[in-house]
Amino acid sequence: MRPVIVIEDRIPFIKGVLESVADILYMPSGSIDATVMKDADALITRTRTRCDASLLEGSRCGIIATATIGTDHIDLDYCRAHGIAVANAPGCNAPGVAQYVSRALLELYGADRLHGMTLGVVGVGNVGSIVERWARGLGMRTLLCDPPRADREGGDGFVELAEIYDRADVITYHTPLTVSGEYPTYHMLDAASVPELHRHPLIINAARGAVVDNRALSLALESGIVSGAVIDCWEDEPDIDRTLLDRCAIATPHIAGYSREGKIRATIMAVDAICDYFGFPKPEWAERPGTVPVAVTPGAVIESYDIMADTAALKSAPSSFETLRNTYNFRSEPAG
């Protein structure tokens, strides 16, 4: 019997790919419920579908593949306890996020002023590593904070978060969201740590909304302790803090990683996970992204992305957050 696979209908480049080997049901995220999942063998989703007991209890689902880096929308403990495999797409949108950060820096400072400025990168995984490399190519000094990597690899090359807060002109976050455990990232910047920002930095959050306490950031902008903010990921999306929105220099609807190449990578990784699980032959893809450039030029970044158009769209219609996100015209990543 052919397996039944439920696929969130906003996942790009996936329609027609698995129909030859499975029965496919495309559904809006808001319509994927326990009734839909009861007879499903697999789910391919994005971040807006909460995958927990309320969705999965009584389902025969054996695998969830999310076409995203993050898994905080999936109850991993529940899945482990019930033998449900979980696959994500690490690094899929890393160049797109690096493009976003680089474009924001060039928009706010220009190529000449970036030379010699200090960028603090909090979280130096797939995304943060490219952000750091491209920033050095633009002439910036970098400070790297990644406690899990520092513990695994040794402290050379890494600094404590307090040092970044003390020395950085710009701070950009690229961590997953973890509320507890050895390395919690919830509210890494909050009211208690704002006074540690001695250089009145620009704050960039293109990670997860709750990595930064949005209210504390808004107050820090009002007081001048923080010189500016670039926010793509917000607490309580899509009902975002309108005061913070007004105070941000750049504000976008969670689309930092929304490059065409990133979406193709994510879909390929999700489909590959499904194929591995069921033993399907992996499909041939008409388009596969090339290698990520070692460095990018200011001109290539500026030409590749109009970040202020996205900012204007959100600021003029904040209630359209989800529509702007779901109908986004995927941009191309910059060439090296």
Does 235 participate in catalysis according to the annotation? no
Q: Is the pLDDT of residue 336 over 90?
A: no
Q: What is the pLDDT, as a whole number, of residue 150?
A: 97
Q: What percent of the chain shows pLDDT beyond 70? A: 100
Q: Is 175 annotated as a binding residue?
A: yes
Q: Is 47 annotated as a binding residue?
A: yes
Q: Point out the catalytic residue in the list 254, 265, 325, 331.
A: 254
Q: Point out the catalytic residue in the list 48, 103, 149, 208.
A: 208
Q: What is the pLDDT, as a whole number, of residue 286?
A: 87
Q: What is the pLDDT, as a whole number, of residue 169?
A: 98
Using one digit for the tens of pLDDT, what is the confidence trace for 5-37? Answer: 999 999 999 999 999 999 999 999 999 999 999
Domains of the chain from N-terminus onward: 4-88 (3.40.50.720), 94-251 (3.40.50.720)
- Going by DSSP bridges, is the β-strand pair 85-87/141-145 parallel, antiparallel, or unpaired? unpaired
For residue 1, name the pLDDT band (cuts at 50, 70, 90). Answer: confident
- Does the global pTM surpass 0.75? yes
Does 163 participate in catalysis according to the annotation? no
Q: Is 183 annotated as a binding residue?
A: no
Does 208 participate in catalysis according to the annotation? yes
Q: Is 243 annotated as a binding residue?
A: no
Using one digit for the tens of pLDDT, what is the confidence trace for 160-187? Answer: 999 999 999 999 999 999 998 999 999 9
Q: Of the candidates 187, 315, 171, 333, which has an alpha carbon nearest to the alpha carbon of residue 252?
A: 315
Q: What is the pLDDT, as a whole number, of residue 332?
A: 97
Q: What percent of the chain shows pLDDT beyond 90? A: 95
Q: Point out the catalytic residue in the list 163, 196, 237, 322.
A: 237
For residue 229, name the pLDDT band (cuts at 50, 70, 90). Answer: very high
Q: Mean pLDDT across the stretch 284-289?
A: 91
Q: What is the pLDDT, as a whole number, of residue 70?
A: 86
